[in-house]
Amino acid sequence: MQAKELDALLARFTQVTPGKTPNPRVKAIVDRIVRDLFVTMNEFDVTPDEFWTACNYLTELGKNNEAGLLAPGLGFEHFLDLLVEERESAAGLNENGTPRTIEGPLYVVGAPVHQGSARIDDGLDTEAEPLFMSGVVRDASGKPVPHAVVEVWHANSKGNYSIFDSSQTPFNNRGTIQTGADGRYSFQSIMPSGYACPPGSSTLQLLELLGRHGARPAHIHFFVSAPGYRKLTTQINIMGDPLIDDDFAFATRDGLVPDVRRIDDPAAMEARGVNRPFAEIAFDFRLVEARDGLPTDVVERPRVSA
């Protein structure tokens, strides 16, 4: 179809019904997306079979509750991080903060709350490597932030998340740690493995058509918040994971790959109360001060609660 004809068609299809009032932002964005899709269909001579395959794909994606999995897989969630950061930099926000990275779809509201330190694994995975992680929540100048809250969630040694994986105890590898005046947090858990999109999932089906895999390096998620500071959504990656620079969700960032100490000294094992060699990670978070006129740090999205 010629551009002129396409323009005339879109002008007709995007007319407002007399007497109705559109939401101007929704209208502007949807009109634009429809235009871009028409242009794409025109350019690629999309057939009816292809179009309905795509519609059915979206229906199945929704039925499987996978919009939140495809979004990081296609890079949208990381792109949102970059868009927020562009606005933060333009506003001159302190750049000493711990880098943000995507939340992903597997956070669950309602994890057990602990003071200062916690054990967040259920102790049932006796093959997994014990992991001890600790650090301090600091401000941009390095001073401890009192009364910070560190929410942590990660996969088990098979790469699966409790609640979404009904074979695990609820809230395994999930916890909320309230720090004291010193900003210190610590927890005991087990070393996670990287998540991979389930075989047969809508997300993996599309990724395969794109010549991609659907796996993540091992990682641990955090929300870190404190009164007067911007809420930080981030993750650390486990150093040495072969996918660290090949994450299907594009979440790896400089500054988020701390050293992992491996310890097999029997006295240290005994002191930690474990019967196997274990891993230690030290990681301090740096929060930046809250400020008006920035994109919100508290993202509204549907989240599972349990």
Q: Which of 66, 78, 98, 106 binds ligand MBD (CB under 6 A)?
A: 106
CB 181 within 8 A of CB 146: yes
Q: Any contact of residue 104 with Fe ion (CB under 5 A)?
A: yes
Q: Any contact of residue 250 with ligand MBD (CB under 6 A)?
A: no
* Contact partner at residue 71 from ligand MBD, Fe ion, none, CB < 5 to 8 Å by partner kind: none
Looking at beta carbons only, is 69 or 288 nearer to Fe ion?
Answer: 69
What is the Cα 151 distance to its own chain's centre? 13
| Neighbouring C-alpha atoms within 13 Å toward the C-beta of 75 | 5
Nearest to 139 by CA among 199, 89, 97: 97
CB of 76 to Fe ion, least distance (A): 16
Q: Are strands 117-119 and 285-287 parallel, antiparallel or unpaired?
A: unpaired
CB 176 within 8 A of CB 114: yes
Q: Any contact of residue 192 with ligand MBD (CB under 6 A)?
A: no
* Contact partner at residue 187 from ligand MBD, Fe ion, none, CB < 5 to 8 Å by partner kind: none
* Contact partner at residue 215 from Fe ion, ligand MBD, none, CB < 5 to 8 Å by partner kind: none
Q: Any contact of residue 195 with ligand MBD (CB under 6 A)?
A: yes
Q: Any contact of residue 130 with ligand MBD (CB under 6 A)?
A: no
Q: Which of 148, 215, 232, 249 binds ligand MBD (CB under 6 A)?
A: 249
Q: Which of residues 33-72 bind ligand MBD (CB under 6 A)?
A: 69, 72
Question: Using CA atoms, how far apart are residues 2 and 66, in angstroms rounded to an integer?
Answer: 37
CB of 103 to Fe ion, least distance (A): 9
Looking at beta carbons only, is 72 or 97 nearer to ligand MBD?
Answer: 72
| Residues within the interface to Fe ion (CB under 5 A) | 104
